[in-house]
Structure 1
């Protein structure tokens, strides 16, 4: 039996019915469940195991039997740790059935058949029906970057009320959340919109009042904060503890909603724009085993880890991708005039999320969670908002637009939220038509049109609404489309051109005129671990888990996935190679290319980075290109600096090849079908 699902092809823009095997959804869930990178987190594994051993030994020394409950067991690793540490009984629950079935096989393969596995959510378990008795030790990993975003508060409260003894211990025992007020001209670009000026500094687009008054999105911006360049931000305060969560609840249940006001003194004058956030956990009752998610500059173990040529200071602390750090943007930046000026950080949480504000006067009451009122944050991801503000990128586009726009120019702009297209009106174009299929994006653009009184601009819901194709002198795009995930998904620009081609005059200028895909063999420090097999973890064989994930990934995961590579350091093993060139004037042409990249640096190649360079006009000058890849020239053997406002593509080789000497590649592009297929093979000497 097969099932059908509707899938939108990002290159053709067409929604088609895709036939899938009955187990396709299962394979997608398994392949993308994210268990792998947790199991590669050696510090997490070692400290969990140490806390389990210590706690069970202590409880038994006090004359207690130890009955363990493991909520959300995953592979069963924590349950097996508890059984091997001497627990009298272990009950594990897992609601994700594919993972539960895999856990059962892993437990059996590791001689842990005594573990009782319940295929339910913990909130569905009943004592006397599913469990013989209440547990007196809870081991669990229910946390995310925000700490409480996966429902930890409700799960712990239910467990204490229904499943645990009154004196039960928990691993982890408690958590603390930390905040540090900062300013960053770079990070601010992910949260607002700057006015747009021409190359002479004259304003082209003023920002409407609704954007200036908008408080933005309260949701966290999760990222690897240690990778944010230290010269790009300034700290206004020391890190401060804002909330503690007692998972053992020996005093009272965890409160679902709290607020706390923290008085701080400014370390320097300036504008307080954001809060850096992270947490740590005490894995044992006595707080002797602590795991911190702090960025490197605030990490309690920073002096124990040594940086070197092979590992920068920012990567000297243990790496993890499932628990990162976050930025929360302050609704209205707070101007601090003097060093040591007192201000107040207002901190809030509900059952699933946190939010912050900063004020000069101590607030008298709790502040409600803010939300976007201007559309910018509703329709654009953080990376796109940052891209809209990227100075060098905008300068390249404006350089082209200023040189080519005249009083007779008639523009058709294609894409979503294309403010550069709006700017052509301010550059003197006779008329501007903007095709934007997204209603919220059109509403946002319309607010700029009205605020800037751009009377020669029309917004089009459908491409068929173009008034007179023969009079168009320019077709322009960045290009950017909301449904794009990988850089080449924006080749949808070429599909739109095909719909227009026969009605355009011969002299119509098209920008970008071409696109080039580049490939770069990489040695990542850590990113490859998200797809790497686990093998053995703290003495337990997890090869069955590896086999399950690989089988599902082969069926449901693309050979190239999108990642913000600036967050994941890696060295270049060769110079980048162009592997495909697409001419938008001949977009319907099928292309097949193949070649070989010789690896200059003999290290393990564990990833192939891919990106697109957009060619704005026919010239080989660097000014004619806008890249979504490296932001600085590549130096072989050195860490690559990446564009921070777009996700690149990355291919992870399926098998490990030591001392590979070259990468053989093939690429097939069928534009009318929207198919772009990559194949990479590592070859040894």
Structure 2
């Protein structure tokens, strides 16, 4: 059945009614899921198999039938492992219907349909009894309910229910237990992902500097309540200073009844060096057996021994938590780190001893909530972008080139500080458009804190709805933007700036300056170190045929052609350039959006040996003739082609449908041809790539 879905187009800004299959959201969830990543995680699969075999053996040694309950079965892989290990029967629970349907087919294809029952329910709705979903309770509980934060997918309430209703009085659990670790660090870089730091703007004359500061509510805000999951191994060790050893914060024993009630766990430590406690790095490991001899760990490479053997995975990463405030600590002076959790979320606090020997009162038993609204508008990379002084200096230099004493500026970007720069550099009048009430309120508080509320007027309107009264009957002589919009996912979605510029054409003066004056789309063929795994066919996994999963993902990816390019923060995912970067298309903001499509065809010559996994695309913004800001490739770091990417924006990755690699030393592709088309009516960019031998 087809349904009409209303969606705001992130590029054009228009609200569109699109006819979609009723399962569109399901298809997209499958397409963007980590199923392939999990199935390719050999370390995870082997450890689960070892743990399952050991659990089945323990049950058999007691003279019992091995009845397995597999919660969150996915493809049914762990259930099939259990039967291969000697289990008698398995109840496999999968709440996501499309996945449950595929699991049934995979189980049947592998010859286990008589021994595995797929139950399409949430585990807390499963019943036991002659008329229930399960004929009897299980004595082996297998689960894969974990996310990067361990408990973020509802593991605790699911375990609590299963222990009470779905398993026998004595049960084996795989995994057997989990341990959560933490390390207290000082990190200017990571702290800049959570707080807006003061910055200085030199006046037009250069005689004085104005310091721009966040408002007090923002400074004291505990931040967003969600974890920042990250490929921590890609953060350079020079970017943080450890203030503690790695601390074992708490354990969850899955072979005993688990509680989902809020709890706190305290560990006392002595700082290894003095500094400001700002950030908590955290990860976990799981023991698959009671003795802890089968361990699967998420620790980053600098903890792992040897470092080069650390398994890569994207479905489980590491966590960055931000303390509500910086806490100065002294080397050797005892401090308490507290880990708090409810049924879905973790957070941390520092507790120091008072001078009288008593403990400082801890008020962190409730989950931290953003009070300043900034964390509702800006995500972690956006905070980092706003705190990037080098980037801000590029905008300052560009504005200094174009601004005059009588300049009337209009800024269109979400939550931008460019209006502050424009005012400090001498613009006569500055207007800024904010699409939402949240961004409007936030920026007004920001301007007021810096005594700019009379100098910068905030307009809460869509650009096409602006009228002369909003602009105080003035013509705009300088139209500016970063561009940055919170609804943008792919790099070209920020071309909304072009549509906004077109919408305000009647409010611009003759020869108005547009900054940036243009943007260019760039691309490059790359070989990924690991990211290719998330889209690589699984086929056979640990001896089981799961190729139906490949078909399901492929169909979902093809469900909507505009989704072929995916956004990824490539600074976390190393890759090598196999071609030189190439400018594929340019968008001239000095002109209005054209009626006709813009097309580009050509090829990229392969200059290095390697496997062509896909093409990376990004935007570069030309502020003036000689000042350009890149949101993608910063540089190719060495002769091997290793790339350095902007950490503030996601780049677009187009995974080739079939990997392009040399067939023999004599037969290999020499170029990758491309065809790219920008449709101004939809704001979408279509693309095709093929190899040339």
For residues 577-631 of structure 1, the C-alpha deviation after alignment (integer angstroms, 9 at most, x for no partner) is 01111101224233110110011112111121111000001x2x3xx10000123
1:85 maps to 85
Other-structure match for 2:100? 100
Question: 2: CA distance between counterparts of 1:545 and 1:253?
Answer: 32
Q: 1:375 aligns with which of 352, 360, 373?
A: 373
- Contact preservation (8 Å) 1:588, 1:672: no
* Residue 120 (str. 1) matches residue 121 (str. 2): yes
Q: Distance in 1 between matches of 2:88 and 2:151?
A: 30
- Give the 3-state SS of the residue equivalent to 2:505 in structure 1: helix
Give the Å deviation of 1:663.
Answer: 1.4
Gaps of 5+ in 1: 307-315
Q: Which residue of 2 aligns with 1:349?
A: 341
2:574 alignment partner in structure 1: 569
Normalised by the size of structure 1, how large is the TM-score?
0.94
Say whether 1:213 aligns with 2:220.
yes
Equivalents in 1 of 2:200, 2:680: separation in Å? 36
Assess if the C-alpha contact under 8 Å between 1:564 and 1:648 holds in 2: yes
Where 1:193 maps in the other structure, the secondary structure is: coil
Please, which of 633, 639, 646 is the counterpart of residue 630 of structure 1? 633
Moved more, 117-126 or 224-233: 117-126
1-structure distance, mates of 2:678, 2:118: 48
Q: Is 1:243 paired with 2:268?
A: no
Q: How far has the Cα of 1:253 moved from its partner?
A: 3.2
What count of residue pairs does the alignment treat as equivalent?
Answer: 665
Aligned to 1:662, which of 641, 659, 671?
Answer: 671
Matches within 5 A, 1:326-365: 326-336=319-329, 338-361=330-353, 362-365=359-362
Hey, what does 1:392 align to over in structure 2?
A: 390
CA contact (8 A) 1:575 1:636 kept: no
Please name the residue that 1:19 is paired with. Answer: 19
TM-score normalised by L of structure 2 = 0.93
Q: Residue 134 of structure 2 aligns with which residue?
A: 131
Q: Tell me, in whole angstroms, the C-alpha distance in 1 between the residues paired with 2:512 and 2:473.
A: 10
Is the aligned partner of 1:517 residue 2:521? yes
Q: Secondary structure at the match of 1:655?
A: strand
Matched, 1:477 2:481: yes
Shift of 1:469: 6.7
How far, CA to CA, are the matches of 2:587 and 2:472 in structure 1? 27
Matched residue, 2:300: 295
Q: Distance in 2 between matches of 1:360 and 1:13?
A: 50
How far apart, in 1, do the equivalents of 2:51 and 2:513 lie? 66
Cα separation, 1, equivalents of 2:13 and 2:80? 48
Look up the SS of the partner of 1:653 in the other structure: strand
Determine if contact 1:573/1:636 at 8 Å carries over to the other structure.
Answer: no
- In structure 1, distance between residues paired with 2:69 and 2:513: 67
Deviation at 1:661, TM superposition (A): 2.6
Moved more, 551-560 or 351-360: 551-560
Q: 1:318 aligns with which of 300, 311, 325?
A: 311
Is contact 2:200-2:209 (8 Å) kept? yes
> What is the CA–CA distance in structure 2 between the aligned matches of 1:118 and 1:531, rounded to whole Å?
27
Give distance in 1, aligned partners of 2:606 and 2:350. Answer: 51
Assess if the C-alpha contact under 8 Å between 1:195 and 1:203 holds in 2.
no
Asked whether the 8 Å contact 1:572–1:636 carries over to 2, the reply is no
Question: Counterparts of 2:598 and 2:260 in 1: how far apart (Å)?
Answer: 60
2:591 and 2:428 map into 1 onto residues whose CA distance is 28
Secondary structure of the residue that 1:157 maps to in structure 2? helix
Return the offset for 1:507. Answer: 2.1
3-state SS, counterpart of residue 538 of structure 2 = coil
Shift of 1:552: 1.6
Q: Is the partner of 2:670 in helix, strand or coil?
A: strand
Q: Shift of residue 190 of structure 1?
A: 0.6
| Matched ranges for 1:400-439 at <5 A | 400-439=398-437
- Matched with 2:666 is none
Q: 1:511 to 1:7 in 2, by over 3 A?
A: same
Deviations 1:371-392 (A, max 9, x none): 2111111111111111111122
The separation in 1 between residues aligned to 2:218 and 2:163, in whole angstroms, is: 46
| Pair 613,18 (structure 1): closer, same or farther in 2 beyond 3 Å | same
1:135 and 1:165 in contact (8 A); partners too: yes
Aligned to 1:310: none
The runs of 5 or more residues in structure 2 that have no matched partner are 354-358, 663-668
Aligned-partner Cα distance in 2 for 1:522–1:489: 22
Deviations 1:562-587, CA, capped at 9 Å, x for gaps: 11111111111121101111101224
**SS state of the match for residue 579, structure 1?**
strand
| CA deviation profile, 1:410-452 (whole Å, cap 9, x unmatched) | 1111111011222211222111011111211111111122222
1:344, distance to aligned residue in structure 2 (A): 1.9
After TM superposition, give the deviation of residue 27 of structure 1 in Å.
Answer: 2.0
Tell me the CA shift for residue 356 of structure 1. Answer: 0.8
Equivalent-residue separation in structure 2 for 1:24 and 1:206 (angstroms): 44
Deviations 1:128-159 (A, max 9, x none): 12111111001110011111111111111111
For residues 179 and 630 of structure 1, what CA distance do their matches in structure 2 show? 33
Alpha-carbon spacing, 1:635–1:575, altered in 2? closer, same or farther (3 Å): farther
1:162 to 152, 160, 165: 165
SS of corresponding position for 1:218: coil
Hey, what's the Cα distance between the residues in 2 that align with 1:401 and 1:633?
A: 29
1:606 aligned to 590, 593, 613, which one?
613
Q: 1:507 aligns with which of 490, 507, 511?
A: 511
Post-superposition CA distance 1:446-502 (Å, at most 9, x none): 112222222221111123144267632211100111111112111011101111224
The offset of 1:366, in angstroms, is 5.6
> What is the rounded CA distance, in whole Å, between the counterparts of 1:469 and 1:289 in structure 2?
72
2:491 corresponds to 1:487:
yes
Does the Cα contact within 8 Å between 2:410 and 2:430 map onto a contact in 1? Answer: yes
> Which deviations, in whole Å up to 9, do the C-alpha atoms of 1:181-213 show, x marking residues without a partner?
001111111101112212578224222222222
Q: Using a 3 Å threshold, how does the CA distance of structure 1 residues 38 and 17 change in structure 2: closer, same or farther? A: same
Of 148, 151, 155, the residue aligned with 1:148 is 151
Q: Is the 8 A contact 1:36 1:530 kept in 2?
A: yes
- CA offsets 1:282-311 (integer angstroms, 9 cap, x no match): 111221100000111122xx22x54xxxxx
For 2:665, the equivalent position in structure 1 comes to none
RMSD, aligned CA: 1.7
Cα distance between partner residues in 1 of 2:524 and 2:326 = 40
Within-5 A mapping of 1:23-102: 23-102=23-102
> Compared with structure 1, are the counterparts of its residues 253 and 26 closer, same or farther at alpha carbon in structure 2 (3 Å cutoff)?
closer
